Amino acid sequence: MTSTNIRRSPARFSIPKLTYRVWKVWHRNFDVFMKTIKVNFLPSLLEPILYLLAFGYGLGGFIQNIGGQPYINFIAPALVAIAVMNGAFFECTFGSFVRMYYQKTFDAIVATPVSVEEVVAGELLWGATRATINATIVLIVIAVFRLITSPLFLLVPLIAFFGGLMFASIAMCFTALAPDIDFFNYPSFLFVTPMLFLSGTFFPLTSLPSAAQATAMAVLPLTHIVNIARGVVAGHTEAILGLNPQMLLPISIAWIVLVTIFFFIVSINLMKKRLTG
C-alpha cells in the first residue's frame, strides 16, 4: 500500500503551464474596471495635464531647449512611460494584494478549473492592460497639447503593454513576498519614486556622468521605456552613453524582453509558493 505513495515533487521552480483560462482572470478584472470606469479614468487624465502645466509650461519657461526641442516636448514622452510604470506597478502590488489577501478572490478562483499559475498570469496581463489604458490616455492628452511629432506614436499601446507586463511582473514579486499591505511602501519609495526622477524623465540622463548613465541603463526599467517612448513620440532619443537611436532602441527593447521573461516566470513561481505552500 505504501509503495503507491507518490511524494509530490516540490517542483520549486518551473516554467508555468498556461491555457486560455488566463483570460478569464483578466476578464474578471476587466469587468470590475468597467463597473467603475469613470473613477478609473479621472486620475490618469488629470495627472499628465498637471505635469504638463506645472513642468511643461510653468517650469519649462525658464529652461532652454533640450536637443533642439522645448522642455515640454522633452517631458511629454516621459509622461507616457511614467503612466506605464504606475499603471502596472500599482495594479499588481496594492490591487493584486487586496484581491489575494483581503478579498480571497484568488482562493475562490483556484477552486475552479483555473490554476494558481493562470490566476497570477491573468493578473499580470491585467496589469499590462492597465498600463496600456493609462498610457493611451496620456497619449491623447499630449496629442491635444500638440506634442506628438512622429507618426510612430501609433506604437505606444504596444510598447505600453509589454512595458506594463515588465512592471507588473516585477510588482508581483513584491506582492508574493509582502507580509502585509504596508510593505509596499518600501518598493514605492525605494524603487518607483527614484525611478520617476532618475530615468531620463524630467532632465536628460546625458547631463549625468557616464557611470550614472550606465547605472540607469543597467538597473532602472523605466529608463528603457522612456527611451522607446521618446523614439516613437518625439522621433528621436537622447544619446545616452553616446549611443545613437539605431543602437539605443534595440538595446532597450532587448533589455525589456529579457527582464520581462525573467520576472514573469519568477513572479508566478513565487506567488504559487505563497498560495499553495
Partner 1 sequence: MGSQEVLIEAQQLTKKFDDFTAVDHIDFKVYKGECVGFLGPNGAGKTTTVRMMYCFLPPTSGELTLAGLSVNKQCREIKSIVGVAPQEENLDPDFTVTKNLTVYARYFDIPKDEALKRANEQLKFFQLEEKREVPIAALSTGMKRRLIFARALLNQPQILLLDEPTTGLDPQARHLAWDEVRNLKKQQVTIILTTHYMDEAAVLCDRILIMDRGKIIEEGKPAELVRKHIGEEVLEVDYDEKLLPTLKEAFPDARFERLGDRMQIFTDKPHGVFEGFLKEHSMQNVTIRTANLEDVFLKLTGRGLREE
Q: Judged by CB under 8 A, which stretch of 30-38, 71-79, 127-135, 221-229 contacts partner 1?
A: 30-38
Contact 75, 201 (CB under 8 A): yes
Return the DSSP state at 7. P
Q: Binding partner 1 by CB under 8 A: which of 59, 63, 66, 110?
A: 110
Q: Tell me how many degrees the CA angle 221-165-154 measures, rounded to the nearest 5.
A: 90
Q: Binding partner 1 by CB under 8 A: which of 34, 39, 111, 211?
A: 111
Q: Judged by CB under 8 A, which stretch of 66-74, 105-113, 127-135, 168-176 contacts partner 1?
A: 105-113
Q: What are 63's three cell numbers? A: 529652461
Site string for partner 1, 146-175 (x = CB under 8 A): ------------------------------
User: Which spans in the chain are helix H?
Assistant: 22-35, 37-51, 71-90, 96-97, 105-109, 116-144, 156-177, 185-187, 193-198, 210-219, 221-233, 245-276
The secondary structure of 16-66 as a DSSP string is: PP--TTHHHHHHHHHHHHHHTHHHHHHHHHHHHHHHIIIIIIIGGGGS--B
Q: How far is the CB of 104 from partner 1 (least distance, A)?
A: 4
| CA–CA dist 65, 68 (Å, integer) | 5
Q: Binding of partner 1 at residue 114 (CB under 8 A)?
A: yes
Q: How far is the CB of 181 from partner 1 (least distance, A)?
A: 16
Amino acid at 64: Q
Number of residues that bind partner 1 (CB under 8 A): 28
How distant, in Å, are the alpha carbons of 19, 62, 117, 156, 196 from that of 70?
48, 11, 46, 21, 20
Contact 272, 17 (CB under 8 A): no
Q: Binding partner 1 by CB under 8 A: which of 64, 185, 246, 276?
A: 276
Q: Binding partner 1 by CB under 8 A: which of 8, 38, 62, 68?
A: 8
Q: Binding of partner 1 at residue 7 (CB under 8 A)?
A: yes
Phi, psi of 2 (to 5 degrees): -70, -15
Q: Binding of partner 1 at residue 112 (CB under 8 A)?
A: yes
Q: Binding partner 1 by CB under 8 A: which of 18, 24, 181, 183?
A: 24
Q: How far is the CB of 237 from partner 1 (least distance, A)?
A: 41
Q: How far is the CB of 114 from partner 1 (least distance, A)?
A: 5
Q: How far is the CB of 101 from partner 1 (least distance, A)?
A: 12
Please give the residue ranges that form the binding site for partner 1 (CB under 8 A): 1-2, 4-8, 21, 24, 27-28, 31-32, 35, 103-105, 107-115, 276-277
